[in-house]
Amino acid sequence: MINPTLPLVDLHRHLDGNIAPKTVWELAQLHNITLPAESLEQFAPMAQIQGQTSDLMAFLTKLDYGVSVLADYDSVYRVARENVFDALDQGLDYVELRFSPYYMAKTHNLDPQKVVEVVIDATQTASKETGVETNLIGILSRTFGVEACTIELNALLAHKEHLVALDLAGDEISFPAQLFVNHFKQARDAGLQITVHAGEADGPISIWNAINLLGATRIGHGVAATQDPKLMAYLATNNIAIESCPTSNYQTATINDIRKHPLKQFLDAGITVCLNTDDPAISNITLAHEYDLVKNILGLTNQEIEQVQKNGVEAAFMDAQQRQRLYAKVAARD
């Protein structure tokens, strides 16, 4: 079970995939946006995954409801702020919220750079209000193509001092890492760390390319790594962390049987694997749910679960000051 003497962290959590159905519904009413339901009760199950989708891209369509109601910057502020308060409600001590400004802006033609500015303002303010330590990761949404990602990158780099990392997410198969080498070089040159969605919809080569071409030191999902023993050894030897999201991996059909999720294989191989929620509002889960899952379904021991929890703290993109505050907060709680 979760060890209360250690910080509880979530490193792979999409801000734009964690917009509560109630918030989507209320913003739709505010902006006169039509949703395919006559009440919140009807809408909520439509906005969340029911069982398993056919693939990753089908899963991602559920996120479209949330961004469809971001009609102004006040709405962007609200959902960003609510993400931090949601982390507080779920007992998190530290959270890395990743978001795609282009994706959040595109439906209502908002300015992606202004979206970044508003998300930063909202999360920083909410972090002070709640005491939850937060960091932001910018996403390039590869699904929209290289040109859109260039616009997105420029918006993110304009506020680079308030971000800790850059991520690549979306259609992993149609838009491989090779297309974004220059984008990620710019990000690294700007001082950002790199985490990449890889090995979720595509095979081990996607993970190798995330590391060798883009400079990733953390991999989102990474399920396909188990197909390549050399890659497993490389991840362990080079301390490249895996941001594991079991429920999401089942819902996207990345795995067909939750009992066969590779998290324990990663742990046994000495890989720094941590536990995360991915899109908690879409998946209708909490991080506590994921810890219950790895104990009761995957059969991890309390010692193994504690190691996973420690791995999250170790892999976090936080500076020394933030890490010190985090441990001081947990010590004061005890």
Asked if 200 is an active-site residue, the reply is yes
The answer to whether residues 168 and 142 touch, using CB atoms and an 8 Å cutoff, is yes
CA distance 204 to 123: 35
Cβ-based neighbours of 91, under 8 Å, separated by 6 or more? 8, 287, 288
CA distance 282 to 275: 17
For the chain, the residue count is: 334
Q: Which residue in the list 133, 172, 200, 290 is annotated as catalytic?
A: 200
HSE of 22, CA atoms in CB hemisphere, 13 A = 2
HSE of 71, CA atoms in CB hemisphere, 13 A = 13
Q: What is the SS3 assignment for 318?
A: coil
The answer to whether residues 138 and 96 touch, using CB atoms and an 8 Å cutoff, is no
Distance from first CA to last CA of the chain, Å, rounded? 17
Q: Give the residues across from 96 on adjacent strands.
A: 135
Tokens, residue 153: 């990158």
- The closest alpha carbon to 137, from 177, 165, 159, 112, belongs to 165
DSSP 172: T
Give the catalytic positions in this structure.
200
